[in-house]
A and B are shown apart, each in its own frame.
Chain A
Amino acid sequence: MPSTPLHKIRNFAIIAHIDHGKSTLADRLIQSCGGLSEREMTEQVLDNMDIERERGITIKAQTVRLTYKGADGETYQYNLMDTPGHVDFAYEVSRSLASCEGSLLIVDSTQGVEAQTLANVYQAIDNHHEIIPVINKIDLPAADVEKVRTQIEDVIGIDASDAVCVSGKSGLNVDQLLEAIYKRLPPPKGDATAPTKALLVDSWYDSYLGVVILVRVMDGYLRKGMKVRFMGTGATREIDRVGIFTPKHIVIDELGPGEMGFITAAIKEISETKVGDTITEERHADKVTPLAGFKPSIPMVFCSLFPIDSSEFEKLRDSLGRLALNDASLHYEQESSQALGMGFRCGFLGLLHMEIIQERLEREFDLDLIPTAPSVVYKLDLTDGSKREIYNPVDMPEVTRIKAIYEPWIKATILTPDEYLGGLLKLCEERRGKQINLSYVGNRAMIEYNLPLNEVVFDFYDRLKSISRGYASFDYHVDTFIEGDLVKLDVQVNQEPVDALSMIVHRSQAERRGRHLCERLKDLIPRQLFKIAVQATLGAKIIAREDISAMRKDVTAKCYGGDITRKRKLLDKQKEGKKKMRQFGNVDIPQSAFIAALKMGDEK
């Protein structure tokens, strides 16, 4: 299969909010171009992972090559790039967009523009994309095409008069969309005679093929047997396979300028392939200027994961390793906690990423995990002039050594029906938010806030959804680090700190948080022989305290000669149970109490 001339190629991404029908529409495009027969179509063919299908989200970028015969009689090569829709994967979105020249912006005609749509559209605009607005789900009774058209123009500021109105579900007007793609989107540029230059868009581990690298060729060709250099890492490899997805993977001879596809090159670990790297032919490597790379992904949200059953620690390590094979943004580091035993401190791109990793560990690897409260990264200036980053509250140095603490702030965009505005403003204010803007889009309010990320990682999203009965949409990106009056809140049981419950909070929130934790533990810790003091402290200062009064009764009424053996064995058994206890001063507290404390969420 010789490569297609540039003017017959269109590379485009699909951007949309979750649930706006992106995957279904993609399915329809694939089907219309004969990529898969009716029989081969499963729902949302591009979302490979169970979790992607269930949650209606796309985590890994995918490309599909479609062959489309236009009404003008020409045959076009369409490369459809399916991108993750969620803010946590903004980085994946950005590199996907960089490999295309145009985007289809899907908006649900029953829902309208959402916060997330905005973020992705802005990225497409940053990448100089031509954008075709697509109004989807027009067959639904609640569809309001004109309102959405106005919204797209008002909020996003692009001309929506020629938006394509479709139904991905029924296939209505999908033919118009396919026509619009070659008519309205620009073909890629490239030089077939120049030395090979290709962008490494994404990579993943496949148990049969090894590491599969998704590429976009800019200039020249990629062919089987070619010796290529990864300019960023400096590694040299021989290509052993060149192919495309239709979405079935098909091996072809070469990928030419403007084309997308995959290569394999006997690479075993995903860490050897840096997303955004430039791939060139070894013999011309010196003549090629690398493409502008991407910013590496930086984990912003952290939490610790402990196996409930301590014997599963090794399994957790292996499982994290397996996930990291395909997820360069997942960071993890061994950690040991007095209250919870051995586990890992993990870094995630955001809350959804964290949730997905936890869910995959539990589901795909059958682990029972205790996650600690999520936290963020803090930057510290120390009195000795040095700087430090803190990923875990337990690593916080003595107060006297800290000159200043900086915390990440986000810029958040919330779109909500008017009636929930009051409640959401209150939520943002409670979370130390600073309002930047408030405007209206039809009958919906759009608020923009600067918020500290550590106020958002807790239960902000849950609260937002409950206040707005699920109608508000929320999107954010990390903006900057700002100095804050932050303190480390510790919880002590009988004067001994429970490391897993420590958290870094703003001084203004410390008392409320501390009180909640103490009250919660009071309910969870069983009474013991001795009185137990549960205290929340800031350094040496006690800000909340609850006492658990001593146990009053725990005795066997009867014990005679026949009961001795049984009674002793029972005590022996209880001693075994003590291994699941953690000692605090003269009391043993079941690990389950701490697990429950962590599971209960911040405040209910």
Chain B
Amino acid sequence: MAFGIYIHWPFCKSKCPYCDFNSHVSDRIDHNQWKSSYLKEIDYWASLTQGRVVDTVFFGGGTPSLMKAETVADILAHIQKRWRVANNWEVTLEANPTSFETSKFHDFYAAGVQRVSIGVQSLYEADLKFLGREHSPEQARFAVTQAQKIFSRVSFDLIYARPQQTLQSWKEELSEAIQISKSHINGHMSLYQLTIERGTPFFTRHARADFEMPEQDLAADLFDMTGDMMGAAGMPAYEISNHAVPGQESRHNLGYWRYDDYVGIGPGAHGRLTQGSNKFATRGHRAPDVWLNKVQEFGHGMHPFDMVSPLARYQEALMMGLRLSEGVPVERLIQAYGASIDDILSKDKIASLVKEGILEESQTHLKTTQSGFRCLNAILRYIM
């Protein structure tokens, strides 16, 4: 079972109106204090997971490209000190394409980052503005091009199915994005449809009808077109919203979807950890100050662990696994549940989904079809 480490940097320069992640805007960040707290929590986690080999590290946020490169370097060095790490370990850092952050790419590379994931979101000025982003299309193009020169692997994100977006305009925008990505052989793109989340400014604005989201059929057409274009460009979807040249999939994220173990370090970071025959869900305190204080006091900023019940393990393995093109091995579901799943997974329901071309069933795997991906929530509601 793969083993990943997720490091959460909870700060952004500004909050994007669609984002419901644990991110905060702060003028005064004591970088030294943060660094020492991360190192402390690494010690805590390493003591709990002796013998595990680290396959991947992922710096997420927030905006981890706002971290000092030195902090990143020290964290990576500390991880290597506390755990054994795989020879081919994958180290990813999320970055925003402002010029300030782009200028730090060399230093991040020197710190040990091999792969960057850049939050481009759109190549159009007006849409970037709507999404509350701080960069321009030019800065975004430049950031990706720069990254491609420095890092061996580069991914970037786009958000589509935006208000008023047409099939034609997305086709043009995505075509350009594909061109940019293809100038590097190790292409990877995360293409998310905009969703309106509770507790975000967009939620309120949408509720007040300030803007209208694309209706179901258009959103479905946009999704299908995206899949077709990316497939034709040699970057097929390996997950609902993630596309890559084969071999360039994010190994860290695959770990989530394959229901592998990972530890979450930092404010609000989540983890899943197998201990013996049990699986624990872990989460850090969300508020940055609270987390810092807890780490100072106890050596970690975690809430008490929750044991994940066998049924919940099965549900999590299923809902994550069905997001992947490779599907979910039935064996993994049985393992997660710890017993036969015949009683909890209705053969009749699977058969009717297969009949409708929504799922595929092989000897070993359960797989969502291309058209099934569009309705995964409904599928899960139906079979869970």
Contact = CB atoms under 8 A, between A and B. Distances in A.
A555 B376 contact: yes
7 contacts: A530-B352, A553-B375, A554-B375, A560-B256, A564-B316, A565-B270, A571-B315
Interface in B242-301: 253, 255-256, 262, 264, 268-272, 281, 283
Contacts of A560: 253, 256
Contact of B272 (A555, A561, A574): A561
Interface stretch (B39-47, B67-75, B216-224): B216-224
A557 B195 contact: yes
B319 interface: yes
**Dominant secondary structure at the A interface:** loop
A565 B281 contact: yes
Contacts of A553: 216-217, 219-220, 223, 374-375
B320 interface: yes
B105 interface: no
Size category, B interface = 35 or more
B11 interface: no
Contact of A552 (B4, B6, B216, B323): B216
A561 B270 contact: yes
Interface of A: 527-530, 550-562, 564-565, 567-568, 571, 574-575, 578, 586
Contact of B375 (A552, A557, A574): A552
Given A529-B356, A554-B374, A575-B381, A561 B323 contact: no
Given A561-B264, A586-B349, A571 B380 contact: yes
B381 A568 contact: no
A54 B271 CA distance: 63
A550 B356 contact: yes
B253 A554 contact: no
B256 A564 contact: yes
Given A555-B240, A562-B264, A568 B319 contact: yes
Contacts, number: 103
List 4 A-B pairs, minimum CB-CB distance, nearest first: A552-B220, A557-B192, A553-B220, A561-B256
A406 B335 CA distance: 65
A571 B375 contact: no
B353 interface: yes
A564 B270 contact: yes
A571 B319 contact: yes
A567 B6 CA distance: 19
Given A561-B264, A568-B316, A556 B256 contact: no
Nearest to A529: B378
A25 to B, nearest CB: 54
Nearest to A560: B256
B312 interface: yes
Interface string B180-199: 00000000000011110000
Nearest to B312: A568
A555 B256 contact: no
A552 B384 contact: no
B272 A554 contact: no
Given A529-B378, A557-B240, A571-B384, A551 B256 contact: no
A586 B216 contact: no
Interface string B1-19: 0001010000000000000
